């Protein structure tokens, strides 16, 4: 069974930064690596589900023309909305995935520290909806903590294996460490150097 919304409501009731995204060097470094692995300097449209308090959202916003974020916890939506006040092209919604997947097409979908909270059925549905809402050159980025998390139905390895299987797209960049997995899939498998005429 996927982790239910009240779990996240409780986390944010006790702390506006429950995973210490702002304080920990681990989190700041991981965000920098997440942004660095992206193969394009800018994206037309980005969707970030499970945005939490908006720390990654704040760094994605300058890299796109339209940013849609969502979270299942009302407090997280309020915090992310506040964090993104300076970006009129950014929007934050409260929604539970995969049931409330947004309409529209996205050039980049960012699945950061989200998917291990979903059981296999919900994750399969989320991946299928993500794939269906990608543009013709769309990309999916996934980043997940590797050690098992008490109460989570899946591990990072299980999540990324299912993404690899169901996305059915070339994986064009990977960064794997003891602590986390970071992968980028793209419908267009062309390398950055090739795109810039260097190969």
Stretch (H or E) spanning 111 = strand 106-112
Residue 8's pLDDT band (cuts 50, 70, 90): confident
Residue 17's pLDDT band (cuts 50, 70, 90): confident
Residue spans per domain, the chain: 5-176
- Condensed to tens digits (0 to 9), the pLDDT of residues 32-80 reads 999 999 999 999 999 999 999 999 999 999 999 999 999 999 999 999 9
Q: Which two tokens stand for residue 134?
A: 């990608």
- Condensed to tens digits (0 to 9), the pLDDT of residues 78-91 reads 999 999 999 999 99
Q: Can you give the pTM of this predicted structure? A: 0.95
pLDDT at 79: 95
Kindly provide the b/e burial profile for residues 113-126, where b requires at least 16 CB atoms within 10 angstroms of the residue's own CB.
bbbbbbeeebbebb
For residue 197, pLDDT beyond 80: no
pLDDT at 162: 97
Residue 30's pLDDT band (cuts 50, 70, 90): very high
- Condensed to tens digits (0 to 9), the pLDDT of residues 100-157 reads 999 999 999 999 999 999 999 999 999 999 999 999 999 999 999 999 898 999 999 9
Q: What does the H/E/C string look like for 66-97?
A: EEEEEECCHHHHHHHHHHCCCCCCEEEEECCC
Residue 18's pLDDT band (cuts 50, 70, 90): confident
User: What is the Cβ-side half-sphere exposure of residue 88, based on CA atoms within 13 angstroms?
Assistant: 0
For residue 196, pLDDT beyond 90: no
Top CATH class of 5-176 equals: alpha beta
């Amino acid at each position: 069974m996927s982790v239910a919304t009240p779990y996240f409501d409780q986390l944010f009731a006790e702390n506006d930064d429950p995973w210490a995204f702002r304080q920990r060097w681990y989190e700041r470094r991981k965000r920098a690596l997440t942004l660095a692995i992206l193969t394009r300097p800018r994206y037309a449209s980005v969707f970030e589900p499970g945005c939490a308090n908006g720390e990654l959202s704040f760094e994605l916003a300058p890299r796109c023309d339209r940013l849609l974020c969502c979270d299942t916890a009302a407090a997280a939506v309020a915090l992310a909305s506040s964090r993104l006040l300076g970006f009129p092209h950014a929007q934050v919604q409260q929604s539970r995935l995969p049931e409330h997947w947004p309409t529209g097409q996205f050039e980049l979908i960012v699945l950061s520290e989200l998917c291990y909270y979903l059981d296999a059925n919900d994750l399969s549905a989320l991946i299928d909806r993500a794939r269906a809402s990608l543009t013709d050159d769309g990309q999916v980025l996934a980043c997940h903590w590797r050690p098992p998390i008490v109460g989570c139905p899946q591990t990072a390895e299980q999540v990324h294996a299912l993404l690899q299987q169901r996305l059915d797209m070339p994986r064009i960049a990977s960064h794997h460490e003891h602590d986390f997995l970071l992968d980028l899939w793209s419908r267009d498998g062309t390398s950055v150097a090739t795109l810039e005429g260097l190969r």
